[in-house]
Chain A
Amino acid sequence: MDNTIQKTVHVLAQLAPSSGGSGASKSFQQLVRSIGEAKTKHEEDRIMKREAVILKEKLGSRDTNTRQMREYLIRLIYCEMLGVECSWGYIHAVKFTQSSNIADKRIGYLASSLLLHPNHELNMLLINSLQRDLRSSNMLEVSMALIIICRLIGEEMVPPLLPLVREKMHHPKELVRKKAILAMHHFYRCSSDSIGHLLEEFRQALSDPDPGVMDAAVVLLHDMIKGNPSAYKDLCPAFKSILSQIISRRLPQTFEYHSVPAPWIQIRILRILAILGTDDAKISEDVYDVIEATLGSAECTSNIGQAITYECIRTISSIYPKPSLIQKAANTISRFLVSSSNNWKYLGITALAALVLIEPKYALNHQMTVIECLDDPDETLKRKTLDLLYKMTNPSNVTVITEKLIAYLRKTTDEFIKTDLVSKITQLAERFAPDNSWFISTMNSVFELGGSLVRREVAHNLMRLIAEGTEDEDLDKELRGNAVSSYIALLSKPQELPDVLIKIICWVVGEYVYEVEDEYQVEDVLEKITGLLQLEFKDIRTYSWIINSIARLIALIGYVPEYLHSQLAVYLAWEDTDVQQRCSELFEFSEKLELMQAVLPLDSACEDLEIDASLSFLDSYVSEALVQGASPYKPPHMRVSQKASQSPKPQQRPSIKFEPYATPSRPIATSHVTSSSPSLARKELTDSLSSSSSVGGAEVTRDRESISDESKPHTQSTLKSGIQSKGNQKWSRTGYAKAAAPVIVDNISNRIDDVSESVRSSTSSIDDIKEPKAETAANATSIKGSSIEAVPQIPVEQAKKQQLASALFTGLSGPAQRPSKQRRGREERERGSSKLNTNANDDKGKTQETSQLIDLEGIDFSTTGTAPVAAPPSPPPPEEGRGGGGGGGSLFDQLQVLSNETHVHEDEASDTLLMKPSQGGGKPLTESSTSFNDDLIGLFDGSSSTSTSLTSGQPSLPPVSSLPSSFDTTTSLLPTPSPSSSPAPTLLAIMDAPLSSNTVKLPDALNNVTSVSGWNKKELVSDGHIRLSVTKLLHPDKLALVLTLSNQKQAPITSVNMSCTPPSNTKGLRWKDGEEEESEEDLSWTGDLEGFANGTLILSLVPKGPSIAMNLKGEILYTDNTKTQRRLFYDIALYPTDFMRPYVQTTPQFAEKWGSYSNEKKLSLKLDSIKTPDDLMKLVSSRFNFHEIQIIGLCGVFH
């Protein structure tokens, strides 16, 4: 073809030597010719560069006339189209837009629109000419400006142009109106809120006399509706009537295309109806008839008619389903599928894929067509068909479909398609796998074919599946055996395997090679694995996996083969430190093989490694350091908050020294100062330690995230309360003045107190260590003979598994139920443990309190007892012979029995719970035993929420309250009764009670308190399940916040934990029992919410210092009815006015200050206007901004 052009051009050049034609000068023709002749890309580039140089010179020269300039600009466009950068020429294009000659202007605009882009700096120069042209009376100029707006205007340039474009929407010419609306569409795309206020005008445009303008409005509204369907539901009748008018051929003939009336408008409106009708039964109901009519009127012989038919089917499948209409749509599909045109087949398959999602049976009629399409040479069609197959997969056909998909994956080379297929196959395999060995073999082929494209979690899932297996030991053995054999087989061609698969192979073979010991020699396997080291990997961490595997195999065979030393020596100096470390570990271990075997035991993948996240084994070191006078560790957030609270009023506590070395004091073991007025410094200490120890206590949960999140509010609140307990400071001068003196006295004694406190908290952390064991024991007994999850569960995965479980249960017959049973077992396990976790979590804060009560004898134990504990991850040996601990030890056994029984006899179990204190030998309760209580309560909660009524728990309470006083703290561990529930104490959490009424009963003290306007039940956050609202109440000395959490749905929500962190300059307190009293504890609420039930957390915030911007942050964690863990964050803005109260001062108070402040201001008053003291008061107050205190006779006291 190029030849032809060249010839033509040649002929042309001869025919028209004088050039100057519209865009075809001689030199331009030569250029086109030489480009055509260019053999290589390189040559072409060279020619274009030369052309660019010529153009640069010509465009810059002064003696080119506008006609030539126009041509040069077109040549510039040509250069840019071929990929030569000509940014130096853009300015000429912009200059041309300002020309008065319309042809020049047009070229200028055209060149600008093709050369510039919306963020180009030269665009600013266009604004002026655009504004002028929009105002022009020449319709052509207006049109050009509108077109250029669509191309080049970015978000920041919308405001200067919007009013002008808006005017054009009422231009007399319909073409301009149409373009103006499309320009509006561009503005909408730039920033969706820029044209929101013009909605009314767009509605009017819908009824424009010209159907073309209406079309443009439909286009614009389509995108606006797509952004927010619910806001435009009222437009539905308008669209409906437009569509019915179109199909009844009311539009002028010019709007017909191939004798179909306005097909593009029809398509657009059908799309809008699909969006509006999605999940909206009412609107769908309204549009059924018009869609049916459209479907009926669409002819089926032309392309465009079929386009409308297809659009109808799409709409029918996305709106609220109507069986008869769906049936009709399904019948029409055959029109597409039987066609000889692949275009129509393609659409038929796409439409079918949409329909099978609603009703799978429609696929059956077209089975043969689908199979044919699958073998069609047309790639696009084949891919669509695979997509259809993917959508109609169910448990019974999953094997066949996955086979097809894998076969296609094997053939295709396109990365994009591969990625898509890999994710589809993994999804299908995870969703519909009939059994585990099929799953493993399918996943192996996926890893083999597209290993690099698989998400990492998928690989982990696979390994976990192999590791955890089922509850049936024999099956597990077989499964692992199969997996290992298949992997060893794969090792014969390692070069072709992707990194992910190599990692999986290494891990599985390393862990489970003993399962196939009779088939393979471990030595041979080791050799093969070692051989992998010779390969090159993209991910250098793969070597770590290989070395790990080698280590396991060595541990198994019990000696180190000679060749390994030489092979591995390289990796001692490998670029990656992880590889280095693993390698040197291996070498170290190879000296001590017995130790190695102990460290790497068989089948240990599922055993729990206890990780002491709190580093509690360092506590003795820390406390020692503190004793030596070291500065206590402050977590970063503390440092900030401390600064914040300190900065506003540094002069108020001049006596407190924050430098840690200023007053080093040795701790006196016997000093037992009552902590009635703890200072700030002391709280830092406790905090730093308690955060570690309380985390240690909560480690049971194994869910690190929730630990750190929840411990934060708690620790912060202790800090705050520590500061607060100096006395209730009000924002009055007297309050501050009083506080200043006693602090100085307290300071030193508090410091002593600090250190002893720190020692005490380290005691508690030792007690904590026992907890993991207790937890493990509890788990082990409740789940008979099964392994416990080593990996923390990700909620999404959990949901997937549950989906899988339910799918398998409903859809499958006998043999397939095996894996599902296993999976469900696991799921129950998880649920059970999460129950325990949450409950242990809630009370963590309280156990902390308990730990402070431990007697001084506890200190001795702690100092002696810390040493053996210090080596994680091996479980700490139980500390025998300890006062409190001895009792605790026997409780372990007790608990095991208990947890077995709780499933059946709750009452009995709770009785046993009550016996516990006496078993503890009457000694002050230690941390460990209190945490048992938590666990037990957790068990109760779990079971009572499922079946038993709360009365089963009730009888247990009275005895609790009659326990010795040392146990009193434990009673507070029981979930507190709701203020709104019956006066009788219940075991249920606060919120469960107000099932019937959605109103929240407030404590009496808050009943007559006014709320902040605009903050009465103000909604903070909501999702589909829960809604959180807050009311701010102005209590005389504090701000009370009533946080109401309501379940929006019928289904119950479980394990709700709502926590919050008040701003650093306030002290947060929680209201309890509806009493006036406030209990200082962690600011959270936990419990379950039945359908439509409410939960309330009442907080008071007492200000400690002024601040302009304050925020109370918090989060809500809950598990919804699909057992998915969800998390919501909220944020309550607090304003200084929330804390300000009218300042009432009496005359005597004022008298005290009399004379301490003096200020003079003169004011001349006209005496004739003042008749009474009241008049004078008013006048003076208004002129001086005085506040009136009292009027005594003729004397006024002001402030």
Chain B
Amino acid sequence: MIKAILVFNNQGKPRLVKFFTRYSEDDQQTIIKEVYHMVSKRDDTVCNFLEGPSRLGEGEHRLIYRHYATLYFIFCVDASESELGILDLIQVFVETLDRCFENVCELDLIFHVDKVHNILQEICMGGMVLETNITEVVTHIEAQGKVEKSESSPTMSIKSTVSSAPNRAISAVKNIQNSSIKLPTPSKIRSLNVKLS
């Protein structure tokens, strides 16, 4: 099963932390630091699998990670998961984020942490892979959004148009600073695939 999903940026600042197995607060922080330490010094050409820090517990643990522009996506898994399978699951997760946020960037992960978690919950539940089809996940997320909207009161709906302003702002900023902060576009991701195979 998947023990933890960690996302942090090149500086090691955590952007998304989700543990599926219980670790104490201190352990969680140490694991994040250790994992960052292990992953950050690796070259992009070496393989994406690592033997996990012993702090993750008894038995064999592996870190399977992908590095996109500014972010590291790391899945800590035990021996019952397939390495390449998880590697592609990370790809599925990132592509889904990309669909939901339209060119996902680090900022989306900071300011829409709840949405990111929702997406993650649709892909992976209780440490097990729940859904791997990107379209399905996106459909679920959209359906949820609709239900939430329909439930909000009429007064809220007025506000919601106002509140969409920052969203638009974010996407505006993204467009301005396209080159430096953007994650690889889907086309880039695909090219990565080609390179791998």
Q: Taking beta carbons and an 8 Å cutoff, which residues of A are in contact with B? A: 1-2, 4-5, 7-9, 11-12, 15-16, 18-24, 28, 32, 35-36, 67, 74, 77-78, 81-83, 85, 101-103, 106-107, 110, 114, 117-119, 138, 140, 146-147, 150-151, 175, 178-179, 182-183, 185-186, 212, 216, 219, 222-223, 226, 254-255, 257-258, 263-264, 267, 271, 301-304, 306-307, 310-311, 341-343, 345-347, 377-381, 383, 416
Contact = CB atoms under 8 A, between A and B. Distances in A.
Most A CB within 10 A of own CB, among B17, B51, B82 = B82
A190 to B, nearest CB: 11
Given A1-B106, A416-B54, A82 B47 contact: no
B112 A343 contact: no
A150 B107 CA distance: 29
Contacts of B152: 101, 103
B39 to A, nearest CB: 11
Nearest to A415: B54
14 contacts: A1-B9, A5-B110, A19-B166, A67-B159, A82-B14, A107-B114, A147-B126, A175-B140, A186-B126, A223-B80, A264-B129, A304-B84, A377-B43, A380-B46
Nearest to A80: B25
Contact of A341 (B92, B107, B177, B196): B196
A5 B70 CA distance: 11
B172 A15 contact: yes
B157 interface: no
A82 B11 CA distance: 14
Contact of B88 (A179, A257, A311): A257
Interface in B139-174: 140, 144, 147-148, 151-152, 159, 162-167, 169-170, 172-173
B197 A343 contact: no
Given A83-B25, A303-B88, A311-B82, A106 B118 contact: yes
Nearest to B9: A1
A110 B84 contact: no
B82 A267 contact: yes
B125 A21 contact: no
Nearest to B127: A150
Contact of B169 (A12, A82, A110): A12
A110 B114 CA distance: 7
Contacts of A12: 166, 169-170, 173
Contacts of A138: 147
Given A110-B114, A303-B193, A254 B135 contact: yes
B45 interface: yes
Interface in B50-107: 50-51, 53-54, 70, 80, 82-85, 87-89, 92, 106-107
Given A5-B107, A32-B110, A380-B49, A343 B83 contact: yes
Interface in B3-50: 9-11, 13-14, 16-18, 20, 22, 25, 28-29, 43, 45-50
B177 A8 contact: yes
Given A15-B169, A216-B130, A255-B133, A110 B193 contact: no
A28 B110 CA distance: 10
A924 B65 CA distance: 83
Main secondary structure of the interface of B (DSSP, over half): helix
B144 A140 contact: yes
A380 B163 contact: no
Nearest to B126: A150
Contacts of A106: 114, 118, 144, 148
The 10 A-B pairs at the shortest CB distance, nearest first, are namely: A150-B126, A307-B84, A21-B166, A342-B47, A16-B166, A378-B46, A15-B169, A24-B111, A83-B29, A343-B47
A178 B83 CA distance: 24
Contact of B84 (A83, A226, A310): A310
Contacts of A216: 128, 130
Contacts of B70: 1
Most A CB within 10 A of own CB, among B16, B131, B169 = B169
Given A21-B167, A23-B111, A378-B45, 19 more contacts: A1-B70, A5-B107, A5-B110, A12-B166, A12-B170, A15-B173, A18-B165, A81-B14, A103-B148, A107-B114, A140-B144, A150-B125, A175-B140, A182-B126, A254-B136, A255-B133, A258-B88, A304-B85, A341-B196
B167 A307 contact: no
A264 B135 contact: no
A223 B16 CA distance: 28
Contact of B47 (A22, A35, A255, A341): A341
Contacts of B121: 147
B180 interface: yes
Contacts, number: 214
Contacts of B127: 150
Nearest to B63: A380
A20 B158 CA distance: 13
Contacts of B22: 117-119
Given A117-B22, A151-B126, A16 B85 contact: no
Interface size class on chain B is: 35 or more
Contact of B125 (A81, A103, A182, A301): A182
Contacts of B50: 380
Contacts of B172: 15
B126 A304 contact: no
A302 B193 contact: yes
A633 B115 CA distance: 75
Contacts of B162: 18, 20
Given A1-B10, A1-B106, A380-B47, A23 B54 contact: no
A150 B148 CA distance: 23
A257 B133 contact: yes
Most A CB within 10 A of own CB, among B9, B49, B87 = B49
Contacts of B17: 81
Nearest to B149: A103
Contacts of B29: 83
A416 B53 contact: yes
B163 A21 contact: yes
Nearest to B83: A347
A134 B47 CA distance: 43
B192 to A, nearest CB: 10
Contact of A110 (B88, B110, B117, B165): B117
Nearest to B144: A140
Contacts of B118: 106, 110
B48 A183 contact: no
A719 B83 CA distance: 64
Nearest to B176: A11
A856 B78 CA distance: 74
A11 B173 contact: yes
Contact of B25 (A5, A85, A183, A223): A85
Contacts of A264: 85, 89, 129, 132
A9 B173 CA distance: 9
Given A21-B167, A346-B49, A378-B46, A182 B177 contact: no
Nearest to A75: B113
Contact of A310 (B46, B82, B113, B125): B82
Given A4-B181, A267-B82, A416-B54, A15 B130 contact: no
A219 B80 CA distance: 11
A304 B88 contact: yes
B126 A1 contact: no
Given A83-B25, A304-B88, A185 B51 contact: no
B9 A114 contact: no
Contacts of A85: 25
A110 B115 CA distance: 10
A2 B11 contact: yes
B128 A342 contact: no
B113 A77 contact: yes
Nearest to B8: A81
Contacts of A342: 45-47
Given A343-B87, A347-B84, A23 B53 contact: no
B115 to A, nearest CB: 8
Nearest to A146: B125
Given A5-B106, A179-B130, A185-B126, A307 B49 contact: no
